[in-house]
A and B are shown apart, each in its own frame.
Chain A
């Protein structure tokens, strides 16, 4: 057992002294994260108030249109927001989740019906919490406009008129704090059922907890990809050792083969763990990337992938007979894992036929895990993906050890 650690330490040292390995495992990912992240996104995410929002009016009756008009008819609101009218609530939700829209208001199908029946109704305000300021303003604006429109409706009912009051003047955003009860005073004791509270605005957090900047995205993606490169240098180390006969010499010492193979795999793991630490700290300090609150979750995912790299090292050493062969197979395989795993472009944007292959890519599991943790997921949420990565690693390790040739 002690010899296993001796071999691991020696291998880690040998890999660390290989300038090419250090370049590929550390300099390349940090460089790529910087280039891709800043070219495609910019490090600082500006939170302009000139935000794009959408309204989806699903109301079967006419009240919804009244609300829409209240919001679109105001010049003040128009100065702050570019309002789109949509009709597909799901598409709008997705756009908010992606951050393509800052916020949205979704008016339910049964709005008119419920108001008529005197039942409470909830309007859905979606907001991208990554742009809290403008989304918050939108929620306030929506609330104020709805209050104003609602009061008209209530008046209409109280007075027994049709709900066709045109041109409701919406309250300016600054007045969003005006309590609806102010209008309710008119209703008073005569019709207590019909307070303005029947229409409430519920802010709904988009399912994505935090909007991710491009540099954060590529930090996850490139880390997920480059952690696997340790496997290539581990395989190189094994094949070089076999070619230069030091492996034969190790096998003449009183050490079990388990210690030799285990030591080799552990060496790759140690190198990968160090690499992960450097990439994690490097992206945090250089690019101010926020990997999320649950450090344990991120570390678990990273170490699971480093384990997969150790397994892949054994498989590469077994399958590629020479360093030249591994130098070809290794990067090709890692690129495939990375491409299907979303290291380069978000995996949701990949062609459909590629998607079933994603489950075999350790990069896919770990990159998605990293991104989830950045958006608020915890260790409990990513333990499954981490186990999947470790499982792929175990298969590669067992296969590699089974097929490995020592001479």
Chain B
């Protein structure tokens, strides 16, 4: 498979804030590539540079053979963009919004009409096409927001947190939509701070934090970063700081982090340390409320790499 998006050494500052630092990745044609990171990681800034909305301080971006620096129009023609905000005209109907965005990409006449109808179908809102977008629910707006980015069937689709703040049903609809679009041949760059979405959708994933990519690979490759370790999550009451040190000293505990009354422990041998861990905590006067053990996932990868939870 050939490379369709290539980003190398990307950097962007806003005053003193380094929003993106030395970011590089490539996306092969036909892939769904995930950019996973907490709020403020630099995902939107990265996407904005790819879509030529922001100019990079350093680095190069090539999309479908066009460089953002030399041929931004060529880049824009190859892209569909679904912004993080719902960027639609509230007093126009869904059909009018879609027709407008289609025309912005050069569609007209019968082609435009067909594209609008298909996009409405994709969003599952064909029956409400003539209603103003301002009357829609959050989830419906999100779906039209996506439809507006894909009706011109771009080669590469940039999606910036397209499921933020919506009900589970709309969310599932959106995730299925992304799969369908990808199956029809669209390459997708998908950002999210929800690890389940990225795990479900993406062929390859880059994890971002503080403007940098801290890990990159397929889901299995990333799991290997934590080397088959489990995550033990313990909820406790009345935990003293000294108790933490005692717990860290237990044999088999690779890493232990605390957020409020929750402990997260990375271990290769959850079966053998569980008993010791609980008795250590209890004998130090803490009260264990609940314990759970998980297979390694992107959450544990992120925890392992950064020492904090994705959703902080």
By a beta-carbon cutoff of 8 Å, the part of chain A in contact with chain B is: 2-3, 6, 10, 13-14, 17-18, 244-246, 248-255
Q: A238 to nearest B CB, angstroms?
A: 13
Taking CB atoms, residues of chain A closer than 8 Å to B52 are: 251-252
Known pairs A2-B108, A250-B104; list 20 more (Cβ under 8 Å): A2-B103, A10-B89, A10-B92, A10-B100, A13-B96, A17-B92, A244-B87, A244-B90, A248-B87, A249-B101, A249-B148, A251-B53, A252-B79, A252-B81, A253-B101, A253-B104, A253-B105, A254-B77, A254-B104, A255-B104
Binary contact track B102-130/A, C-beta < 8 Å → 1, others 0: 01111010000000000000000000000
Pair A6/B103 contact, Cβ less than 8 Å:
yes
Give Cα A250–Cα B51 distance, bound, in whole angstroms: 11
Q: Can you show 24 pairs from A to B with CB atoms below 8 A apart?
A: A6-B100, A6-B104, A10-B89, A10-B100, A13-B96, A17-B91, A17-B92, A244-B87, A244-B90, A245-B87, A246-B88, A246-B89, A248-B83, A248-B87, A249-B83, A251-B53, A252-B51, A252-B53, A252-B76, A252-B83, A253-B101, A253-B105, A254-B76, A254-B106
CB-CB nearest in chain A for B103: A6
* Given contact pairs A246-B87, A252-B51, A253-B76, A14 touches B103 in the complex (Cβ within 8 A): no
CB-CB nearest in chain A for B76: A254
Check B85 for interface membership: any CB of A closer than 8 A.
yes
**Of the residues B53, B85, B92, B148, contact of A244 by C-beta under 8 Å:** B85
The 6 residue pairs across chains A and B that have the minimum distance between CB atoms: A253-B104, A249-B87, A254-B76, A245-B85, A17-B91, A252-B51
Pair A3/B53 contact, Cβ less than 8 Å:
no
Give Cα A329–Cα B231 distance, bound, in whole angstroms: 59
Check B73 for interface membership: any CB of A closer than 8 A.
yes
Taking CB atoms, residues of chain A closer than 8 Å to B81 are: 249, 252
Taking CB atoms, residues of chain B closer than 8 Å to A254 are: 73, 76-77, 104-106
Give Cα A6–Cα B92 distance, bound, in whole angstroms: 14
Pair B76/A14 contact, Cβ less than 8 Å:
no
**Of the residues A14, A251, A252, contact of B89 by C-beta under 8 Å:** A14
Pair A3/B96 contact, Cβ less than 8 Å:
no
Taking CB atoms, residues of chain B closer than 8 Å to A6 are: 100, 103-104
Q: B83 to nearest A CB, angstroms?
A: 6
CB-CB nearest in chain B for A17: B91
Taking CB atoms, residues of chain A closer than 8 Å to B88 are: 246
